């Protein structure tokens, strides 16, 4: 018969075999605080875990709401990383930009993994609370819109739904008029001696960026050169981001197909047909098309 396992902590004790082990009493965590705990002061968990106001009695709605809230938090982190990267590029600090983009890639993986609880919803399950959502739709997510703006997918009309929320509207308006992350990348490539066309560098940054053959040629040049060069590594970090955003869009599309087929969306769009069009677009398009010329 084997010896009973020693407890990892606790005082000396008697086993059923009469063997006593002397153990060290480890320091236990502090229990007494004057006000709220330092954890609460930092994490605001009390606020965060009381924001789940479901709109129906269906027990399946809770995970729909929390998944949406979790995704909003990831959007917030990703926007922070991309804004950090854009700022770093503006001051020619490519290592800081690459580090932020790499962090964002791991965060996008976590974001995409959070589709799991909703990925297999059946129409009957979704119908159990869908009508309670009224006209509410992720299309109205301001933080998602900031992500799209940073990728170059600008559109002034996307500010309209947020007229009633001054802080959100102001943040979106600022983001609309700032160069996108991709604009900053192309400006950096120009400063590094690449022939980025003037039309690209001087464009109105509040408009949607369209693919440009001159930018494709620049990426083909970068990818034909030293793969260890900063610009090549920047290109790969951006490609990782582009792929993961494309995956989010496609996972969303498939979850929507499963949950509601071809019905119109709660936000008023054609639903799946509209999402299919959005999901077909490549993020940083020239980074993909340039590969045919390397």
Residue list for the binding site for substrate = 130, 266
Question: CA quadruple 288, 290, 292, 294: dihedral positive or negative?
Answer: negative
Per the structure block, which two tokens stand in for 82?
């991309």
CA–CA dist 179, 204 (Å, integer): 9
| 246 binds ligand HEM per the rule CB under 6 A | no
How near is the Cβ of 73 to ligand HEM at its closest, in Å? 10
Figure out which of the listed residues 185, 234, 259, 287 binds ligand HEM, where binding follows CB under 6 A.
259
Figure out which of the listed residues 23, 269, 282, 289 binds ligand HEM, where binding follows CB under 6 A.
269
Which of the 8 DSSP states describes residue 158?
Answer: G
| 252 binds ligand HEM per the rule CB under 6 A | yes
Alpha-carbon distances, residue 205 vs 65, 161, 174 (angstroms) = 34, 21, 11
How near is the Cβ of 233 to ligand HEM at its closest, in Å? 29
How near is the Cβ of 286 to ligand HEM at its closest, in Å? 21
Figure out which of the listed residues 152, 235, 265, 285 binds ligand HEM, where binding follows CB under 6 A.
265
Q: 123 near 259, Cβ under 8 Å?
A: yes
Annotated binding residues, as ranges? 130, 252, 266
How near is the Cβ of 204 to ligand HEM at its closest, in Å? 21
C-alpha atoms less than 13 angstroms from C-alpha of 185 in its C-beta half-sphere: 29
> Number of residues in contact with ligand HEM, rule: CB under 6 A?
25
Per the structure block, which two tokens stand in for 139?
């299309």
| 142 binds ligand HEM per the rule CB under 6 A | no
C-alpha atoms less than 13 angstroms from C-alpha of 277 in its C-beta half-sphere: 5
Does residue 98 sit in helix, strand or coil? helix
Q: 159 near 173, Cβ under 8 Å?
A: yes
Nearest partner of 10 among 42, 21, 2, judged by Cα: 21
Does residue 134 sit in helix, strand or coil? coil
| 154 binds ligand HEM per the rule CB under 6 A | no
Q: CB atoms < 10 A from the CB of 272, how many? A: 20
**Helix (H), strand (E) at residue 291:** none
How near is the Cβ of 142 to ligand HEM at its closest, in Å? 10
| 144 binds ligand HEM per the rule CB under 6 A | yes
| 268 binds ligand HEM per the rule CB under 6 A | yes
Binding mask 58-97 for ligand HEM (x = CB under 6 A): ---------xx--xx-------------------------
Q: Smaller CB distance to ligand HEM: residue 64 or 219?
A: 64
Residue 21 pairs in a beta bridge with 13
Segment interacting with ligand HEM (CB under 6 A) among 89-97, 100-108, 179-187, 252-260: 252-260
| 267 binds ligand HEM per the rule CB under 6 A | yes
Annotated binding residues for heme, as ranges? 252
Interacting residues with ligand HEM (CB under 6 A) = 67-68, 71-72, 118, 121, 137-139, 141, 144, 252, 255-256, 259-260, 265-269, 271, 274-275, 278
């Amino acid at each position: 018969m084997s010896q009973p396992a020693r407890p990892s902590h606790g005082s000396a004790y008697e086993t059923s075999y009469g063997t006593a082990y002397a153990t060290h009493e480890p320091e236990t965590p502090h229990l007494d605080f004057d006000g709220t705990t330092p954890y609460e002061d930092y994490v605001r968990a009390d606020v965060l875990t009381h924001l789940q106001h479901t709109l129906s009695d269906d027990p399946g709605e809770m995970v729909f709401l929390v998944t949406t809230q979790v995704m909003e938090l990831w959007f917030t982190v990703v926007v922070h990383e991309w804004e950090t990267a854009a700022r770093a590029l503006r001051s020619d600090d490519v290592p800081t930009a690459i580090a932020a983009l790499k962090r964002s890639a791991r965060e996008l993986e976590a974001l995409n993994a959070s589709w799991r609880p909703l990925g297999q919803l059946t129409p009957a399950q979704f119908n159990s609370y869908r009508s309670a959502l009224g006209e509410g739709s992720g299309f109205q997510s301001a933080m998602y819109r900031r992500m799209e703006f940073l990728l170059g997918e600008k559109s002034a009309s996307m500010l309209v739904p947020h007229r009633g929320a001054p802080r959100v509207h102001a943040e979106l308006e600022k983001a609309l008029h700032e160069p996108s992350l991709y604009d900053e990348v192309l400006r950096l490539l120009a400063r590094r001696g690449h022939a980025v066309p003037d039309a690209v560098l001087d464009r109105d940054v509040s408009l949607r960026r369209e693919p440009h053959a001159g930018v494709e040629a620049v990426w083909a040049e970068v990818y034909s050169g030293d793969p260890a060069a900063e610009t090549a590594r920047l290109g790969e970090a951006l490609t990782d981001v582009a792929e993961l955003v494309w995956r989010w869009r496609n996972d969303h599309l498939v979850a929507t197909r499963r949950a509601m087929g071809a019905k119109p969306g709660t936000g008023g769009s054609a639903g799946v047909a509209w999402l299919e069009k959005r999901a077909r677009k490549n993020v940083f398009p020239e980074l993909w098309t340039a590969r045919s010329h390397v």
